[in-house]
Chains A and B, each alone.
Chain A
Amino acid sequence: MSTPRGSLESDGRFEETSLDASSFTPLFILVTVREAINQGMDEELERDEKVFLLGEEVAQYDGAYKVSRGLWKKYGDKRIIDTPISEMGFAGIAVGAAMAGLRPICEFMTFNFSMQAIDQVINSAAKTYYMSGGLQPVPIVFRGPNGASAGVAAQHSQCFAAWYGHCPGLKVVSPWNSEDAKGLIKSAIRDNNPVVVLENELMYGVPFELSSEAQSKDFLVPIGKAKIERQGTHITVVSHSRPVGHCLEAATVLSKEGIECEVINMRTIRPMDIETIEASVMKTNHLVTVEGGWPQFGVGAEICARIMEGPAFNFLDAPAVRVTGADVPMPYAKILEDNSVPQVKDIIFAIKKTLNI
């Protein structure tokens, strides 16, 4: 099957390029987020022998969500390690290995299970470089799917961006598309600090175009820098992970009504790139934050607090507004679940309210 050539429009349509010699288009390939993470890990495993992957089902099963497909076959038992169901134990083992000079990638099958191991992530990994006065770095990556999925109910749907984002000593990233996923996992693996990579299960199968630059083995997305996915003038819409796609959809709808949204993909939760958000708000005078997690003490709450403390506050023509998951444990029934996560209509409503339309 030949790779289709063309481009993915922002409303999701794939526009195929006619193979007419007179119209030259740059060559992109379509890569799913899953494939992007897989490629990123593969390239880093190849580049540095100290990198290894451990977690439940990562080796012989090819990964619970097939994200590590083919890696065990290529690298073997020493570097791709299946663990028993012992999160606290294997997270601690991974942190110890990092302290002793290896560069582990520790997978949590979902971040819900990381709660069993959270002491190792925070007290053993995040704080150690500081407590040791700069003697003991911990170059580790904790990765896995985070946040709501579909029909998995309350214990399997929590978003951990705010909890991990709270802690000094950690870096926390949240990729949306394939370029984010590949570039951020590579940066995370090369970083000498503990990095939490919050992936999204519903995004794993979604294809995005990857530029030839992004296909290179040295392509990195810097940690701590947001990306403006869509330029706009009337309002700044900030988001991370899957909701970035919903924001772009909302922007397309609103564009037809003459409202141009500037959509910012945070990419990194901590350290947060507040400067990009501030510069945008100083241009548009309006702010809406969108996240999948719960509202209280969340990512949007932090953005609003920081906007108030900085130069952008004086440019706001209306209070900043948050769009979040509903303040409930995730219900199971489809109608309830659908209404417990931010939908495109909720984003549009919030934008119009802010703009007083």
Chain B
Amino acid sequence: MRKMLAAVSRVLSGVAQKPASRVLVASRSFANDATFEIKKCDLHRLEEGPPVTTVLTREDGLRYYRMMQTVRRMELKADQLYKQKIIRGFCHLCDGQLLLPLMQEACCVGLEAGINPTDHLITAYRAHGFTFTRGLSVREILAELTGRRGGCAKGKGGSMHMYAKNFYGGNGIVGAQVPLGAGIALACKYFGKDEVCLTLYGDGAANQGQIFEAYNMAALWKLPCIFICENNRYGMGTSVERAAASTDYYKRGDFIPGLRVDGMDILCVREATRFAAAYCRSGKGPILMELQTYRYHGHSMSDPGVSYRTREEIQEVRSKSDPIMLLKDRMVNSNLASVEELKEIDVEVRKEIEDAAQFATADPEPPLEELGHHIYSSDPPFEVRGANQWIKFKSIS
């Protein structure tokens, strides 16, 4: 708990502690904040939507930039470790390949910016970015990916099963997390603490029947659930046109109001999230957000991503909508930050990731004696059978 709070405060404190170069930068004065225009959201069953302008403070901007860079570089590092076979199994990244660094960071950072730490979030398997924005350190995340004892799940879960306070994973079964999220929202309503639950799923999962069951019950019972469809236009190798009779994902909640949001613009995501959270907190029931993004990489590390789309398509989107470039340009052009300052953040982030990767590579694997641990919670120790009747593992809660 303490480690997690430290991690959160590290992230939120934003500006780093580098005395020497700080002197250089501090001699220039920056604007405190700036106003930006953001894309209007398409609306479904809503009279009005989020505002089309927003104010970004220098402090927030620097913080978002650092967080997005951290997520990007963390994912790139995971990509590298996977290619070196230090990470095994599934590795679903929310970034692109080494030469195609554009992604879905605006989603995880933008969503977090629109809610409180006491709100709740659940997503599917492309979860590393959210695990970070919800408060875990890059160290714990990478060490979980490499399956070491210092991993956030002690090496028991891997890429798809990371948990933190008010963050419920990391779920491997496509669509199953959506009813779970509605259930977390039910708990929010039951406890009466004005909290909401962000329940994420992809365009592929959007065709799962259980999602419609969750929509129905969330609407019937007015659960404070924000259903969020991250539409990156491909479910594995199947484009949305080949999977869905209706690709207007923000309308598919039918009786649930919806918005379609530019998922590559962190400010747009933030405003939409604030709007949606306010809607839910007012007791009106669930709301649906579709975040339009693009997946540069293949579906996972084993997919080069070009058998079902053209390289031209990938290049074009990359050159026009990198969320980090977008934020950087805005901040520099409005005098919220300098290019040098942002470069400094890049350097710090790179170092943080390197250190974390070192740890994740050097930390030992979990001890074999712990194989049987954590079967049950709050129970006295018992024995778990191994591969044959003579191999026994002790199981501690």
Contacts of A289-318 to chain B: CB distance below 8 A: 309
Q: Is there an interface contact between A134 and B377, defined as CB atoms closer than 8 Å? A: yes
Q: Is there an interface contact between A136 and B213, defined as CB atoms closer than 8 Å? A: no
Interface: A271 (CB within 8 A): yes
**Of A87-95, A227-235, A241-249, A326-334, which stretch is located at the interface?**
A87-95
**Of A25-33, A118-126, A177-185, A213-221, which stretch is located at the interface?**
A118-126
Of B153, B181, B210, B213, the residue contacting A131 (CB under 8 A) is B153
Q: How close is B132's CB to chain A, nearest CB, in angstroms?
A: 16
Question: What per-residue 1/0 map shows which CB atoms of B183-212 lie under 8 Å from chain A?
Answer: 111111011000001000000000001100
Interface: A52 (CB within 8 A): yes
Interface: B180 (CB within 8 A): yes
Q: Is there an interface contact between B171 and A124, defined as CB atoms closer than 8 Å? A: yes
Of B187, B210, B220, B377, the residue contacting A97 (CB under 8 A) is B187
Of A78, A130, A136, the residue contacting B375 (CB under 8 A) is A130
Residue of B155, B180, B373 with most partner-chain A CB within 10 A? B180
Q: How close is B96's CB to chain A, nearest CB, in angstroms?
A: 28
Q: Is there an interface contact between A86 and B217, defined as CB atoms closer than 8 Å? A: yes
**Of B31-39, B51-59, B63-71, B161-169, which stretch is located at the interface?**
B161-169
Interface: B252 (CB within 8 A): no
Q: Is there an interface contact between B379 and A100, defined as CB atoms closer than 8 Å? A: no
Interface residues in B, total, Cβ within 8 A: 50
Residue of A129, A139, A309 with most partner-chain B CB within 10 A? A129
Q: Is there an interface contact between A89 and B216, defined as CB atoms closer than 8 Å? A: yes
CA of A246 to CA of B112 in the docked complex: distance in angstroms? 60
Q: Is there an interface contact between B168 and A99, defined as CB atoms closer than 8 Å? A: yes
Q: Is there an interface contact between B213 and A86, defined as CB atoms closer than 8 Å? A: yes
Q: How close is B93's CB to chain A, nearest CB, in angstroms?
A: 20
Interface: B214 (CB within 8 A): yes
CA of A130 to CA of B379 in the docked complex: distance in angstroms? 13
Contacts of A190-206 to chain B: CB distance below 8 A: 191-193
CA of A256 to CA of B379 in the docked complex: distance in angstroms? 44
Interface range on chain A (Cβ under 8 Å from partner) = 35 or more
Interface: B172 (CB within 8 A): yes
Say whether, besides A96-B180, A171-B376, A89 and B389 are in contact (CB < 8 Å).
no
Q: Is there an interface contact between A193 and B183, defined as CB atoms closer than 8 Å? A: no
Contacts of A100-141 to chain B: CB distance below 8 A: 100-102, 119-120, 123-124, 128-137, 139
Question: What per-residue 1/0 map shows which CB atoms of B136-156 lie under 8 Å from chain A?
Answer: 000000000000000111111
Chain A residue, CB-CB nearest to B182: A93
Of A84, A93, A131, A192, the residue contacting B183 (CB under 8 A) is A93
CA of A193 to CA of B375 in the docked complex: distance in angstroms? 9
Say whether, besides A123-B176, A171-B376, A136 and B163 are in contact (CB < 8 Å).
yes
Interface: B397 (CB within 8 A): yes
Chain A residue, CB-CB nearest to B396: A134
Q: Is there an interface contact between B377 and A309, defined as CB atoms closer than 8 Å? A: no
Interface: A83 (CB within 8 A): yes
Q: Is there an interface contact between A169 and B375, defined as CB atoms closer than 8 Å? A: yes
Chain B contacts for A95, CB-based, 8 A = 179-180, 183
Of B171, B178, B183, B373, the residue contacting A100 (CB under 8 A) is B183
Chain B contacts for A319, CB-based, 8 A = none
Interface: A168 (CB within 8 A): yes
Say whether, besides A96-B182, A99-B184, A168 and B217 are in contact (CB < 8 Å).
no
Q: Is there an interface contact between B217 and A133, defined as CB atoms closer than 8 Å? A: no
Q: Is there an interface contact between B210 and A193, defined as CB atoms closer than 8 Å? A: no
Given contacts A89-B214, A96-B181, A134-B377, 10 further A-B contacts (CB under 8 A): A84-B217, A89-B179, A89-B182, A93-B179, A93-B183, A95-B183, A99-B180, A131-B153, A133-B154, A134-B397
Which residues of A does B touch, CB under 8 Å? 52, 78, 81, 83-84, 86, 88-102, 119-120, 123-124, 128-137, 139, 168-169, 171, 191-193, 271, 309
In the A-B complex, the 8 residue pairs with the closest CB atoms: A96-B183, A92-B179, A89-B213, A133-B154, A100-B187, A96-B180, A137-B377, A133-B153
